[in-house]
Amino acid sequence: MKQKKENRLNLLPIIECVMLCGRQELALRGHKDAGPICFKTEFEPYINEGNFRAILKYKAKDLNHLKHFLESDGRYKYTSAKIQNEIISSAGDILLEKIVKEVNSAKCFSVLADETTDISVKEQLALCVRYVVGSDENVFVCERFLKYIEIHSLTGKDIASTIVNGLNSCGIDCSNMYGQGYDGASNMSGRFKGTQKIVRETCPKALYVHCAAHSLNLAVSTSCDIQAIRN
pLDDT at 154 over 80: yes
pLDDT at 45 over 60: no
pLDDT (0 to 100) of residue 204: 93
**Which residue, among 142, 100, 109, 145, has the nearest Cα to 124 in the 3D structure?**
145
Band of pLDDT at residue 148, cut at 50, 70 and 90: very high
Band of pLDDT at residue 40, cut at 50, 70 and 90: low
The pTM score is 0.79
pLDDT (0 to 100) of residue 96: 95
Strand 109-117 to strand 123-135: parallel, antiparallel, or no bridges (unpaired)?
Answer: antiparallel
For 59-93, the pLDDT digits (tens) are 888 888 888 888 777 777 888 889 899 999 999 99
pLDDT (0 to 100) of residue 166: 95
Q: List Cα–Cα distances, 170 to 148, 201, 219, in angstroms.
A: 12, 20, 35
Band of pLDDT at residue 8, cut at 50, 70 and 90: confident
For 162-220, the pLDDT digits (tens) are 999 999 999 999 999 999 999 888 899 889 899 999 999 999 999 999 887 778 888 88
CA dihedral 189, 194, 196, 201 (to 10 degrees): 150
Is residue 84 within 8 Å of 91, Cβ to Cβ? no
pLDDT (0 to 100) of residue 24: 93
Is residue 145 within 8 Å of 132, Cβ to Cβ? no
pLDDT (0 to 100) of residue 199: 95
pLDDT (0 to 100) of residue 214: 77
pLDDT (0 to 100) of residue 206: 93
**Domains identified in the chain and CATH numbers:** 2-79 (no CATH), 98-223 (3.30.420)
pLDDT at 46 over 80: no
Q: How far is CA 120 from the centre of its chain?
A: 19
pLDDT (0 to 100) of residue 69: 83
Q: What sign for the dihedral angle of Cα 25, 31, 37, 43?
A: negative
For 86-145, the pLDDT digits (tens) are 999 999 999 999 999 999 999 999 999 999 899 999 999 999 999 999 887 888 999 999
Is residue 54 within 8 Å of 29, Cβ to Cβ? no
What number of CA atoms fall less than 13 Å from residue 4's CA on the CB side? 1
pLDDT (0 to 100) of residue 43: 57
**Which residue, among 86, 85, 83, 78, has the nearest Cα to 6 in the 3D structure?**
78
